[in-house]
Each structure stands twice: as C-alpha cells, then as structure tokens.
Structure 1
Amino acid sequence: MFDFDMLGLAPALNDALKRTGFTQPTPIQNQAIPLAMEGHDILGLAQTGTGKTLAFGLPLIDYLLANPGKPDPKTAKALILAPTRELVNQIAESLRTLTNGTRVHVVAVVGGQSINRQITQLSRGTDILVATPGRLMDLMDRRAVDLGSVRHLVLDEADQMLDLGFIHALRKIAPRLGTPRQTMLFSATMPNQMEELSRAYLNDPRRVQVSPPGKPVDKITQSVHFLDKGAKPGKLREILSRDPEALTLVFGRTKHGAEKLMKGLVADGFNAASIHGNKSQGQRDRAIKAFRAGEIKVLVATDVAARGIDIPGVAYVINYDLPEVPDNYVHRIGRTARAGREGEAIAFCSPDEADLLRQIQKLMKIEVPVASGSSPLNDGAEGGGRRSGAPRGRGRGQGKPANSQKPAAAKRRRPRRRRAA
C-alpha cells in the first residue's frame, strides 16, 4: 500500500496527516485522491467507516493550497453538502484539523444553531462551506451567501439525501453554483436514484468502488437475537453489563422510544445519554462530545446519528429496533469498526420485524448469524436457507406461526368479495 506522501499532496497536508497519525491511505482514498487531483468528477462507493471524508477532503484542500486567494464576502470556493447536522460537524472538524496553520478557512452551517451568527461568519467569505441543504437554503433566501464562486461540489452520503427528500433542495442549489466545476459524489449504497443523480450532476465521472454497495465493513462481527418485543429491555441490559466500560451505540426507531429507553437505562445505573430530533443541536453536540471522551458509555440514538458519528472507539452497535430502510442498517453498524478497527453489531428481531431482517439480509447478500432464539425466517426466504446458529431440523417449521395466519386471513376476505359482487 502507498503512503500518503506518495500521492503528490502539498507538503503542508502531508505534515498535517503525520501530526494526526495518518500514514497510509485506505483503499477508497488510494483510488479517489489521484483522480480527484487530476480534476475528474468522482462517483465514490465505499463501505461506511472506510475514510470517505479524506478521500474528497484531501484533494480539495490540496487544490485550495495550490490556488490561494482570499474569498470575496459572502462567497465560498467549495461546497460540501451532507444530510445531517452531526455529519456536517464531523466533516468540518476533520477538515479543520488538516487546514490548521494554513490560510484555508472552513465554515459549517446547520439548523438548530444561530442563523445570525452563521450570517456573520459567511459575511467574510470562506474557502470551504460545509452545510446541510435546509440551512443552506435558508441562508440563500436571506441573501447571506452567494454560491457563484463555488467551483467544487461534494455530495456526501448522497443516498440519505435522497431518502430525506433533499433532492428538491439540491435542484435549487445546483443552478446557483459556478461553472465549470468539479463534482464528487460519495455514498455507501447505490440505489437506482443514485444513477439518475450522478447523470444529472456529474460530468464523465470516474467510478471508484472498493466494495459492493450495501456491504458492511468486513471487520464487523454481526449477530441477531430473536426475541419477543417485551424481552428486548432485559436482553439489552444483559449485553451492556458484560462490558460496561465499552462505548456502545444503541439505535431505536423513534424519538420517543429512544428517549424512554435512555431514561430507563439511567434509572438502572447505566451511564447513558440520547440524541434524536427532539434534542437541540447543543444537547446533541454535548452528548456526542461526552461519548467520544468516554464520559458516557451508552449513547441511544435514532437514525439522525447513523451517518454523523465518527468515533473510532465505538465497540458495539446494538440495533434495539431494526430500521425500516435496509440501507440504514448498513450505516448504523458502520459506526463501529472505524479506521481499520474491529467491532461488533448486535440486532434484536421481534416477530413483527422478521420481514425487515429479511430485507436487510437481501441487501447485504449475507445471513446474519443467530445468537439466540428461533428464527422466524423459513428456508424459502430471500438470502438463503437455515440461519447460522438455528437448530437443525426446524427448517420451514420455524415459519409456521407467521404462515398459519394467512389462510385465516384469506377466509375472511373471500366472503367480503362475494358480498361486494
């Protein structure tokens, strides 16, 4: 593998990388950085946690160092869009670490923070603007930012932008950007809409793919517990008690559910906090900071955090509730095994979540090994036959409880159809 200093980056960047402990590029960085430095548009596909931020950040900073000049008031030279506040802040923090001591200036703007303060920051202009689409639109409406000088556009976690409906904002933002420009689009998954997005905004892009889309990091050990919904709290406390000093990220499906779960853990003596959409940005930032520092051992979150937590020390990710969007499972468990480390992802699956697990396994093209309980997935399900760890000889019989409901439902429907006729 190459060292960073073999990629032709500016000496100041190589020095910053050495100070922060980066010596060798990851596969996505090794492939994307030279192409980006040549000016190509990039379509980058890589597993979560493999270093996509540096894959676009390093060539961007390198270009700005080679082409100095103070930005005009209210302008930016480069724009990075990301779907969540946490991810925007994480990207900005990473870039500032690399630009420390240089004249390259980074500004981050997200919702939930003072827009007047952000207007003041932008009044002086910036080299790199990192933003959520919604807050950027607010600033554009107030004429606080002029994007006509932007010659570099990065769309990070573009698939989630599509999921959250930011495509409409992107259609309004893109025409305001300068031309010609370099565009880089990065994602861990590749839904059909992504192809349309790449055709609309990328010009003859170079596709960089270091793993199949939807595939989690290889160093993540996965398992699933099949259990009734009411047994989830006890199983969670059992798992947390095994390694109480480990940093553990627990994902719930709803804001109310995540908050209730966190309060229950605190009441039982666990050092826990929560982040979700009902928390202010300040509360979310403080919780993540304390989690990163190890002051909080358990962080309960909704999917608002799935793409914004880059904390190498996360040892466990527990899917207390399975996500309704299969891609989100990949992003959730990608919060562990960061930067080449190993990690463990544990899922809870109640009977009503069996189809969600089936969809997740179909996306990843693997079977999640069974840690406990009997799998309700039968041999004919997508993704394979008997689940790893399931008792032999059960096979299709494990699916009988769910399937036995179908004939009864059909009998109820047929009389109604005859009456309607």
Structure 2
Amino acid sequence: MKKTKQLCLLAALSLTSLSVFSQTMAEADAAFARQDLKTAFETYTKLANEGDAVAQYQVGHFYESGRHVAQSFDNAEPWYRKSAMQGYAKSQANLAWLYVNGKGGLAKDIVQAVLWYEKAAAQGDREAQERIDNLYNFYPDLKASVRNHKAAILDKQRQEVAARQQAAFDAESEKNIQESRICLNKLSDDARTKSLAGKFSPFGGDSVPMEMLANTGKPNVKEKAALSYVVAEWEKCINIQAEPRKKYLPPEANTIISTYRLDLRSGFADLYSGKLSYGDMARVRAKLDIELKQKIDSLSAKIQAQEFAEAKQRQDAEAQQRYAEAQNQQQREAEKQRQAEARRALNMQEAQARAQLEQTRQLQRNVDFLQGLQMQQMFRPPPQPQEQIQPQQIFVQQAPAAPPPPRQCTSTRFGSTVTVNCF
C-alpha cells in the first residue's frame, strides 16, 4: 500500500511538472504573438537552456532575424545546431541554409547543406526537398559528392565500431590474461608443482629442457596425485580466457584451440596411466605447441588475405561507379589517377602486412628448428668410449747375411819354400 502511494505521488509530480512546462512554452508563444519580444525571448532562452528543441530554434531565429537582439548568425548557429541534433526539422533546414551561404562561422559546404536538408525533408519539410532539387540542378557533380561523403561516413562509422569492439576486446582480454597469469603463478609456486620440477610442466614454452626430454621414467603413486592436481588447476587457469575468447575469435581459431586442448588433455591422461613417460609427454607437448602456432599463423594469413581481397573489391566497385558518373574526360582522368593512388596505398599496406607475417614466420621457423635440434640430440645415441690402442712393438727379422764368396788361393814355390796367398 505504501509503495502504491509513492508511485501515485511520483506520477502526480510528473504531471504537474509537465503542466508547468507546457504552460511556460504557451506563455512564451503568447508573448511572441502579442509582440512582447522581450518576455518571449527571455522565456525561450530559459527553456532553450533546459534543452527544449523548439525553444532553441526560436532563440536561433531571434538572432538570425535580428528582432529584439542584434542580428548575429554566429549566435544563431549554435542554437540551430543544438535543436537540429535533437531532430527538429526547422532547425535542420536553417542550419543547412547557413552551410549554403557560409554564414554563422561556417565555411560554405554544399554537401553538408544537402545532408541537413535531407534530414528535414525526411520529416515532411517540402521546402527542404525543393531546395535539395535546386542544388542538384545547379551543381551537376553534387550527387556524386554527396554519395561519396555518405560512403565515407559509413566507412568511418564501421571503423569506429570496429575500434570500439577491439578496445573492448583488448580490455577484457587484458583483464582475463591478468587473472589467468595470477592463477598460473599461484599454481607454479604450489608444492605439488615443484615436486614435479624437471619431470613435467603443464605450462609449455619455447624450448624444452634436455633432461625433461630424456626422462624415461613414469609417474609413481605420489607423483600421480600431484600430477592430477596440477593438470586440473592448470585447466581452471586456462579456462579464465576460454569463454571471452570465443566471442571475438573466428570459429576456425576456436576450433583449432579446442582441438589442441583435447589432444593435450589426452597426452596428460596417457602420462597419468603410464602409457607415456615424462620424456614422451614432453615431446608430445612440444609437437602440439609447434602445430598450434603453425595453424594459427596459417589462419591469420588466410583471414588477412581475404580482408585485403574484399577491400580491393569494394575499392574497384566504388571507383567504377564514380568513373561512370564523371561528366567529362578531365574528371575521368582525375578519377583514374585517384583510383591508381588508392590502389597503390592498399598494395603498400598489403606488402607491409606480408613482410610482417614473413618475419613472424621466420622467427617461428627458428624456434621450431631449435626444438627439432633438441629432439635429435636426445635420440642420437651417445658416443661410445673408444678403447686406447696400445702401440705394438714391431720386430723386423733381418735376413741372414749372404755367405762370403769362396776364397781363391795360389801357391808359389821358391826352392824348398812354398808360399800360399789367398784372396
């Protein structure tokens, strides 16, 4: 019952304030009708400052016409603009007129004038529509300029929406990354994680220690309990980023990440059951990490190429339309030149993106090479110690000396003495 009374009181107050407001506007109109311009101007100004679009138009009209106050287009323009921004048709048409004539501190801008006249015409202002037709007849190229301006506005709006979405994604991602990092740091400092140091790590990384790759041991009962806890907590920490990521990443990327996590979870299960050793699990993890980076890299290149192709297609379609609307050869040549410059700018952006992507790929290839080299070193059999070869003594048997040649002897007889000489 008390709540009902409060609602009734609020409704009565709202009706009362509406009645006072309407009465004040009526008094301003009545003062204007009886040519009491001072009272009308003061009342309209009071209501205009409170945000009433009609009163804002009236104040602007006072300044434009110079009635009761000194004529000032500069003072009229802000009031017309405030009213026009609220959708008041008369203010929109008057603001357009200021653009046509370059008054009120505004540069002459026929395109802006047409845009404001169109807003007024859309609300049934026939005079605004007539003025649009007159401007189109007087300026032959105006339709193309208006269309190009609208296209630029839409493109800017799309970019702003994309920028806001990206900013929201970055803010949410940073928040989730920080929460995930805090969770992982806490898990890293846990005694159960430290008990598996050198044998198992759920965190991954760019390189895997050789002692972990070479570990052929399997978890015992105590290590299984620690392993079960560490893997479960690691999943919780990673899941902090999982749901927000699904909202912003392409479906293909989410599929790749989901497949990676399923394969990794299967590897953890095999390690726990004893099908894999610690070294086997380290190799499985390294292989899955490399494949994940390669798939994401390939998907990024595909998406980027598709975006550039769509941008070129839109650019070509707009250029062909503008070229067809060109009134003379000079305009067509200028359009050709503009189209060529736009294409060069887009090609330059594409080349820069490709160079950056190639640099990223080269860095990834270096990481993959180092990991592959580690695995090769682990599987290569250790060098066997070579036995020292003792130097052997080599005896060379000399051939027996050849027998001396037979000696030749001669004898000489002198008297009774005989002399023998041998050679």
Category of TM-score, reference length = shorter chain? under 0.3
Given the two structures, how large is their TM-score scaled by the length of structure 1?
0.18
Given the two structures, how large is their TM-score scaled by the length of structure 2?
0.18
Where is the helix percentage greater, Structure 1 or Structure 2?
A: 2
- Computing the radius of gyration from Cα coordinates, the structure with the larger value is 2
Asked which structure has the greater RCO (Cα within 8 Å, sep 6+), the reply is 1
